């Protein structure tokens, strides 16, 4: 899978994700996390951004400006949330490979009066342009799109200052998910998830930690958010049938394949093949 495939995926589906998903109001193309204290869908959609905010608060000194970078920013929902919680010392850059998402994010930033604080650029996070040094870098459900995952850390290492934080909120293969003892159905679920969601970078936390370590990052924290997801409770036979349909060559519609990937992910999460985690690294 190539970067151009990911770009096409979002160019074709962003409007549908916003219109048909739960995150349109929050400008969030991601899952809701129903952690303790979360009572509304907007809070659930912003929960991962709230965890990023906590990392920013740990680094921030009174009156000191910070540069925050969202790699795989979508239409800017996380940066808009952070800007609403922080004063004007925040400078933020959102990076996406989708020209459509850049346009939508800039338009919304202008409507919110955040054009000077939140900048959005079209770029591949595996080949970043020169950017000002960053204090906090994060990716929410974007790292798995990387065709060359280790290059992600190579690029972030150039960008982030020593002592800065990198946060990844994403799906990771469990120890069972990387084993060779998977059943045929389990292999099918993982494959359908990766194909439907364009997720060639799906890795285990151990694999990601090793990649990060080779580029000067150490793990600070690793939080499992899987118990805070609300998974579908559909009959297994129905899920199997829908996942099978999604693999049919005569169903080329990308949004449908993405939906089938979501169903496969549900099965992966239920079976413990995949976990949804918030992992924080420090740049040494």
Percentage with pLDDT > 70 across the chain: 89
Q: What is the pLDDT of residues 244-267, one digit of tens each?
A: 665 554 455 667 778 888 889 999
Task: Report the alpha-carbon distance of residue 143 to residue 129 in Å, rounded.
Answer: 18
How many other CB atoms sit within 10 Å of the CB of residue 284? Answer: 11
57 has pLDDT over 70 = yes
SS3 track for 8-46: HHHHHHHHHHHHHCCCCCCCCCCCCCCCCCCCCHHHHHC
Domain ranges of the chain: 3-173+199-231+273-283
Tokens, residue 267: 């099965």
pTM beyond cutoff 0.75: yes
- Architecture of domain 3-173+199-231+273-283 in this structure: 3-Layer(aba) Sandwich (3.40)
- Side-chain half-sphere exposure of 103, counting CA atoms within 13 A: 7
Tell which residue, 102, 175, 169, 92, has the closest CA to residue 135: 92
């Amino acid at each position: 899978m190539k970067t151009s495939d990911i770009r096409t995926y979002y160019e074709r589906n962003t409007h549908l994700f916003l219109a048909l998903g739960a995150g349109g109001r929050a400008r969030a193309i991601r899952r809701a996390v129903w952690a303790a204290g979360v009572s509304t869908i907007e809070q659930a959609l912003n929960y991962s951004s709230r965890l990023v905010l906590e990392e920013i608060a740990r680094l921030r000194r009174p009156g000191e400006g910070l540069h925050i970078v969202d790699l795989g920013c979508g239409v800017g929902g996380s940066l808009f949330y952070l800007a609403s919680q922080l004063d004007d010392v925040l400078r933020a850059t959102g990076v996406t490979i989708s020209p459509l998402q850049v346009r939508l994010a800039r338009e919304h930033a202008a409507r919110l009066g955040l054009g000077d604080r939140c900048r959005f650029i079209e770029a591949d996070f595996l080949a970043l342009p020169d950017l000002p040094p960053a204090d906090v870098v994060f990716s929410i459900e974007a790292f798995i799109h990387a065709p060359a995952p280790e290059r992600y850390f190579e690029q972030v290492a150039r960008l982030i200052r020593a002592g800065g934080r990198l946060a990844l909120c994403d799906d990771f293969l469990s120890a069972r998910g990387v084993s060779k003892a998977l059943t045929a159905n389990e292999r099918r679920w993982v494959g359908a998830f990766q194909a439907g969601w364009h997720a060639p970078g799906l890795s285990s936390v151990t694999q990601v930690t090793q990649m990060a370590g080779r580029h000067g990052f150490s793990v600070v924290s690793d939080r499992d958010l899987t118990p805070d997801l609300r998974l579908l409770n559909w009959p297994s036979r129905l899920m199997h049938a829908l996942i099978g349909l999604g693999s049919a060559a005569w169903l080329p519609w990308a949004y449908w394949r993405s939906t089938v990937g979501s169903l496969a992910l549900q099965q992966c999460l239920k079976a413990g093949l995949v976990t949804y985690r918030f992992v924080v690294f420090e740049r040494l």
